[in-house]
Amino acid sequence: MSSTTENNNTKYTTENDQITSKSDEGNSNANKKETKFIVDADSIRRIQPLEYFRHFTDQKIRPNGRVFNRFRKTTLHLGSVTTADGSAVVRIGNTSVVCGIKAEVAEPNVNTPREGYLVPNVELSPMCSPNFKPGPPSELAQVLSETVNKLLKSSSVLSLESLCIEEGKAVWVLYCDVVCINYDGNILDASVYAVVSALSNVRLPKITYADGIVKATPDKTIELSLSRIPFSATFAIFNGEILADPDETEEVILEERITIICDEEGQLCSVLKSGGSSSTRETFSTCLELARNRYSVLSTIFKEASTSANTN
């Protein structure tokens, strides 16, 4: 890869991993000076990130050493937050999130007197990355919260009627708060995995309702009945190549992404597409196959974490 720019009689040429500078002073050959120097790969990455990335992908590998279809190592722990009614800690590569679910009793909407509420929220604080600032939620955090909310509804993870305590009088509200501890890309997959896993870990007390008074037993023994267990898999598209689980560096320069959500039966729950042009049928089919394979891995991790949480 090579490119040339000129500025104040100085010509800069980049070729492969070298940057050469040639300076011309005066009009005569006697005054012409030529200087060559080599810049390290990290500097080239900052100067021309897209060309730097293409240099690796042309060789069928990513700058971080991963092959195109490889996801980062993923871990899951359930029930770690003892003050919550359900919780999950998820780590995908260097991206780490914690989801804690708190249950409260509220009045239902008059139009849906038998339905409770599921309220997800994703928080991206300066603690997880210097790219996020203190203050109101960032645009990315708001988009993530809304996206997770839509995915939960479209995937029919939980029947909201199962959260009804007394029709028209009292229902459960489940606040699903996702806090990013460390941000290194693909926060959507981590958030979806954390919320669904935390929902499976929720334990509620038995509730009685009489004369406008709600009473709860001290023991939390009632589990939620999840209709589906959907997990997501996100891919970045670059020059027709499909890159699984993009990290933060890749997300900055690769704007085209596809997220596929599947359930335990391998059925397609939802598809999200952002950036770039329309994808070909072949690209979608490949992403779907990779997403189903990814689901198998996540399902195994989920079952192991559930068994461990139940034995503790």
Confidence band (pLDDT; 50, 70, 90) for 37? low
- Residues β-bridged to residue 262: 231, 268
Residue 124 confidence (pLDDT) above 50? yes
**For range 122-136, the mean pLDDT:** 93
Distances 289 to 150, 187, 242, 265, 296 between C-alpha atoms, Å: 23, 21, 12, 13, 11
Residue that wins the pLDDT comparison between 159 and 255: 159
- Which pTM value belongs to this model? 0.84
Percent share of the chain, pLDDT over 90: 64
Integer Cα distance of 247 and 267 in angstroms: 26
Residues with Cβ < 8 Å from 229, sequence gap 6 or more? 157, 196, 200, 263, 264, 299, 302
Residue that wins the pLDDT comparison between 249 and 277: 249
What ranges do the domains of the chain cover? 2-48, 74-311
Q: Classify residue 293 as exposed, middle or buried by CB count within 10 Å of its CB (0-12, 13-18, 19+).
A: middle
Return the CATH number of the domain spanning residue range 74-311.
3.30.230.70
Residues with Cβ < 8 Å from 34, sequence gap 6 or more? 22, 23
Q: Quote the tokens at residue 201.
A: 């870990």
Confidence band (pLDDT; 50, 70, 90) for 29? low
Confidence band (pLDDT; 50, 70, 90) for 216? confident
How big is the chain by its Cα radius of gyration, in Å?
25
Integer Cα distance of 89 and 44 in angstroms: 36
* pLDDT digits 0-9 by tens, 59-111: 888 888 899 999 999 999 999 999 999 999 999 999 999 999 999 999 999 99
Percent share of the chain, pLDDT over 70: 86
Residues with Cβ < 8 Å from 184, sequence gap 6 or more? 93, 94, 95, 247, 248
Q: Quote the tokens at residue 139.
A: 């645009």
* pLDDT digits 0-9 by tens, 143-181: 999 999 999 998 999 999 999 999 999 999 999 999 999
Supply the pLDDT for residue 44: 67
Q: Classify residue 112 as exposed, middle or buried by CB count within 10 Å of its CB (0-12, 13-18, 19+).
A: middle
2-6, 32-36, 127-131: which is most confident: 127-131
